[in-house]
Structure 1
């Protein structure tokens, strides 16, 4: 830390921050670090636990002058400290009466006869007999503050050309009371809620009363990412879900298999006698925490707890996760959550000095009331989050309803962030990040893109270029127009697509939409089909394809629809469409025999469709005609009914089609995450190839969801089908047990895909295309084993075909890769 930054740091910290700050490392007599040592201010319950490298940081608003450092098998050490003590080196001496207990020295603690484990078992017995679960109904006020902060700010960073003209932002530098590192807030969101619950019917309701935003307030992608930091978790559950990972809770019934527990102290906390238990992981590389908690001696309810993620845990882009909770005592026995704090340190690297971003959430609870029955109908209603007054509360309201008042710097951050958004240089930086995140280049009221679809290639069009964009007045636009133009240098043809949406009613999300697309596409990229005018087409992005890629179709699709969402996450849609289909390639055709026994090469089809989409537990942000998802752990149920209308606009076929799609992710505790996808469908009536269900193949070198890795395009065709996809990611649980590869943080992935289908004799009889119909009547399946998290961004899968192995030109084995950014 250089002199300039040290002076700034000391001036700021001595005027507005904590009275005492201590930082150092705990080692033994040989200089080896001692992880998970207990460090507390003497005479208090304020403490921390050293990390895996023996390092610790501790601070307090009180003026303490002494700390105590202890660890099993070592003599407790007391040190006199100054108000600012950094780079301390604390040497612990091995206790003479425990020298023979090597197992204690290694950090492993026996469970048998351990008083801490005996207390833990009593916590398990009473964990569902505490807090709000004791009452039939409950309600309370909730205040939530979310922050996004750049961290590890130093003088070198402040002097960079990047920040010229924006030096004023560094006046708002703050210091983390968890890590002791400097940080600069760049986003703040505050919200006030009224929460209700009924344990008898297991229903809850949360009404948004007020919301205040600053920083990146117009970028819904950034806001949704920060909102996802707020995940519902209960320390009494066996697993705590953070960033799609299941961490073993220190209060889990399987905790003794994952943690060492040590009873370290007992003391009165708010007139309640409590035990202090320290815990730390038994093994490196697993999704565990370290920390301590205070538990009452009679109710065995937790009074305070802090949890810090194991630094060697297999999680990407996150250097630290820290959680602390405090509980209030009601009526001398009931413990209710009072304060919940979570901080995540996002960084590319895990080195101590690596710069990154803090994501912080503070939630406060008060005014608990119980057994006030609101009735069942109360929980069927939803509060109106579109009321303008929610987002226009005055300063007096916030002063009264903030359960934790902003400090001087936080108060100034709103002004600083609003000023920063007007600086041209910052706006350029912000726009660059926004382009990479959304794929669109922002102009006034118009976005150009998506830029990632600008260039493509396929056998019919050759090299293809595409330009497009959308209207964008704000994230909550009630209407939106979008479109594109494309040109293929080989076929020398212009393609286009455009669509528009208009929201008539915000509460029920009544939306009208229409559009037209004339383009070339790969039919059969998914079993469950929709009439989305601007849907994805593999034809425009097949740079890395293998085998024949000429089976492409020229489509002219016009569609209109009306949709409504009368209940959250339950949407109904009614649509009508007209399309023409013909081959785009001289080596492939869609020919069929009509009722006059003539061969036709173009399909004209009018269709009406009705669909239901149900996505329980999906969280979204915004209320415009288009919304962003906050989470991805929700189930999806999609049911679609289509009816072909022969004779309408010279339509060729009369048929009915019924399809069902169901996708469900499962978090299996410490064993990882499973994705299941199930699809069934049937077409009633005679239809040609262009209207049948093609089992989706994958002729690229990369993994593509809901396709079959070893199938070529049009290898199987059906009018009746059922498919099942299973994929399980162990999140490194197996590799973490192997010493030689544990540090690589690799993740094991296994998968299974199968499909059954058939095709009627009538549909076979009208076929005149050069595609010979074959249905997977004996069930086609393939299975895979893969390694993920290679260099944090790459995944490699090895796939084997399990059936239809002896058909000509069968792909019986393949290797596919994919890139992605995952925690």
Structure 2
């Protein structure tokens, strides 16, 4: 029987519903509140679990909890520091609401003395809370899992995203009636006071092995399951981005990555300088463990700092037994209405503690006062935690993370047996609901339209047209320019990809076009990591010499608006062959052959002197062989079927380029060698924000005309480009040897947060610095060798192209970002070479960015 026949589908659906009914008949669901038996006040952060199991949770700030099991459970175990542990009877296999009363069992500790002081100014000196946190800091190293020779554990990672507070009346509206099955799947128990409509779910079960000497951490993914939004939406890219926002948190690290930002940990070495600490309670647990409740708050509530509580042991280890981390409402954080991280630790066999469960919750919205938006929850649960138990070397061998072959094909039995946390009823329906949604024509039409608006492409099954923002542009050489193009999709072929476009300039009356064919050698999309493909292409088009803007395509409509005179172009013919190979360790290489023919356009020309006579060449042809070596350790991507974008991380990226020009090969006119090296590094600077630093150097061996020299990246648009010189003119500087440094520092409001008006506006400071050293050897100087192409001049005969002299080109900027949450505005200053024609010492540039 064909698996796609309606009969088979009906059979599978009936079987699924039958199995689901049997499972639901055993589900035990408990909604409840835990209160103090004496004063009837709700108790937050109480541990509640099904007795005799690892399935548990904690109460929220209102004392509420939700717990669910696919098995018939008969008892809850409820425990909280300072209270008697109770076993509370429940009805097996039923849904119920309960109120649990805990009786206080306080025990004073002799080790800590709490004194009341009236309105005394906070100080670190002689402060018992600060003395205690310093003890925690002193003992950080031994409380890390990496302090053991061997560590092994299993983890269950669940990520869920939901629409927040969707009205039940929405399903009654005409347009949404067809989506009623989605809208009715709301969850009102997981987060008391909020209703969640889950639309994304990802589950992963892993087994991790750690060895200290030689150090190696190896994680085997046993199973992974996620919703699939269909061909129009990048499900894997969404998942990668969500995981990047909700990074795994280690409270013992000096800095914690969360929501793409770096937060200073409350137990970082310098935390007493940025946090205020208070001893707010001293308790003894049911297991006779002595703890201190240590509350903390930022000294400046707008800085990227947590507030919350730490529960610290007094057994000599000064370990964190529990942590609650929250974002203050006044923090300079975009689109986040609230955020909370709960960390629970369990005792090891040696008396120290390991992370047992991590829960991260965040409420997203454009307006903090609105009730709608998105709500994300990531829960990581650990079990089978073994210390100092060595395994064979094979357990630590291989890449840091590997997937078992069947990891993404696990059946429901696997998930029932390996989930360390339960799914809510709403979560359990997400997979089937989204699958049903992707089959609806109305969804496909909407997703297709969004794809055009966001990515610029309109799909037609096996082919898609775009990008839309390049259909129309204009420039002084081509005048009004129209372009139309597209590419094949994954539905056309999983191994062969074609891309093409045609463009026409109404002023120069010339056609431009591009055609490429790519063949995947590893049976994966060419956009998937690791890449392994060959590509052949031909392109005939215009280009501004030295243009290399990172924010826009060259024929994008926005690029049409430029400052100053800009009529020196090139017509280029590129015949290219590329071979690309990436490896799992994130080392890659690219081999390339290019036959490149350049033709001057506009007011540009190729003039040289031969025996005293001026000759104008129409074409310059070169044949180049090149090799690019790249190493980007631990690099991750947002990957879609037709794109991928690197995720910014703390790890450096190394690039080494070698190009050899071969004379007389396919008409090549010059022989030369080019060497270029570059290092990019993103530095996280904790409360001081972050800095992007780039170091670059290049050298050309051989005698070449100026179009083959290093034409340094200039920018004559009004947009700020991080990787170009924003007050340098196109074609202004060339060199055959250079070194460059670029620093782009983002302070994330560290200074503005201390100024009341700017603090309220949530603006952020940004500073940049760029310096370019370089030179031109005499053999490549056309004033000494007139047989080389002469440097271009303006209409009055004054040169516009120069070599760098004894001083570097320097420019810098100070700016404000986060204006209206997405605009950056820079005041840029050029510090030297101000006598060159048509240059500006100052300029205002803008850039659109979206950051948390």
Question: TM-score, normalised on structure 2?
Answer: 0.82
Deviation at 1:392, TM superposition (A): 0.9
Partner of 2:325: 307
Partner of 2:534: 512
Deviation at 1:409, TM superposition (A): 2.4
Matches within 5 A, 1:257-656: 257-263=273-279, 264-268=281-285, 270-298=287-315, 299-351=317-369, 353-373=370-390, 381-382=398-399, 389-473=406-490, 477-505=494-522, 509-526=531-548, 536-537=553-554, 541-585=558-602, 587-592=603-608, 598-620=615-637, 627-656=644-673
Question: How many angstroms apart in 1 are the aligned matches of 2:34 and 2:440?
Answer: 36
Deviation at 1:644, TM superposition (A): 0.7
| 2:276 is the counterpart of 1:247 | no
Question: How many angstroms apart in 1 are the aligned matches of 2:521 and 2:419?
Answer: 36
Alignment check: 8 A CA contact 1:590 1:690 kept: no
Which digits, 9 at most, give the CA deviation of each residue in 1:163-193, with x for residues without a partner?
2310111221013645631111111111122
Deviation at 1:215, TM superposition (A): 4.3
Alignment check: 8 A CA contact 2:45 2:61 kept: no
The answer for unaligned runs of 5 or more in structure 1 is: 1-14, 23-38, 47-54, 69-81, 86-96, 529-534
| 2:848 is the counterpart of 1:819 | yes
Question: How many angstroms apart in 1 are the aligned matches of 2:169 and 2:189?
Answer: 19
Question: How many angstroms apart in 1 are the aligned matches of 2:487 and 2:678?
Answer: 29
Question: How many angstroms apart in 1 are the aligned matches of 2:591 and 2:117?
Answer: 77
Question: How many angstroms apart in 2 are the aligned matches of 1:258 and 1:666?
Answer: 20
Matches within 5 A, 1:39-188: 41=43, 57-61=62-66, 101-103=118-120, 109-155=122-168, 157-175=170-188, 177-178=190-191, 180-188=193-201
What SS is found at the alignment partner of 1:741? helix
> Structure 1 residues 279, 455: closer, same or farther in 2, change over 3 A?
same
> Structure 1 residues 448, 805: closer, same or farther in 2, change over 3 A?
same
Alignment check: 8 A CA contact 2:219 2:402 kept: no
Alignment check: 8 A CA contact 1:526 1:695 kept: no
Question: How many angstroms apart in 2 are the aligned matches of 1:636 and 1:114?
Answer: 45
Deviation at 1:293, TM superposition (A): 2.3
Out of 215-224 and 600-609, give the one that drifted further.
215-224
Which digits, 9 at most, give the CA deviation of each residue in 1:472-492, with x for residues without a partner?
226994442222222222222
Question: How many angstroms apart in 2 are the aligned matches of 1:558 and 1:387?
Answer: 42
> Structure 1 residues 527, 394: closer, same or farther in 2, change over 3 A?
closer
Question: TM-score, normalised on structure 1?
Answer: 0.84
What SS is found at the alignment partner of 1:579? strand
Deviation at 1:798, TM superposition (A): 0.6
Alignment check: 8 A CA contact 2:482 2:503 kept: yes
Partner of 1:209: 222
| 2:763 is the counterpart of 1:734 | no
Alignment check: 8 A CA contact 1:319 1:349 kept: yes
Question: How many angstroms apart in 2 are the aligned matches of 1:154 and 1:744?
Answer: 32
Query: Match for 1:794 among 819, 823, 829?
Result: 823
Alignment check: 8 A CA contact 1:569 1:615 kept: yes
> Aligned residues, how many?
753
Alignment check: 8 A CA contact 1:735 1:746 kept: yes
What SS is found at the alignment partner of 2:449? helix
Partner of 2:789: 767
What SS is found at the alignment partner of 2:141? coil
Question: How many angstroms apart in 2 are the aligned matches of 1:447 and 1:581?
Answer: 31
Partner of 2:4: none
Which digits, 9 at most, give the CA deviation of each residue in 1:202-236, with x for residues without a partner?
33222222111114365143233223134243212
Alignment check: 8 A CA contact 2:605 2:616 kept: no
Out of 382-391 and 754-763, give the one that drifted further.
382-391
Deviation at 1:332, TM superposition (A): 4.9
What SS is found at the alignment partner of 1:429? helix
Partner of 1:12: none
Question: How many angstroms apart in 2 are the aligned matches of 1:718 and 1:295?
Answer: 61
Question: How many angstroms apart in 2 are the aligned matches of 1:183 and 1:413?
Answer: 12
Alignment check: 8 A CA contact 2:716 2:726 kept: yes
> Structure 1 residues 324, 479: closer, same or farther in 2, change over 3 A?
farther
Alignment check: 8 A CA contact 1:719 1:760 kept: yes
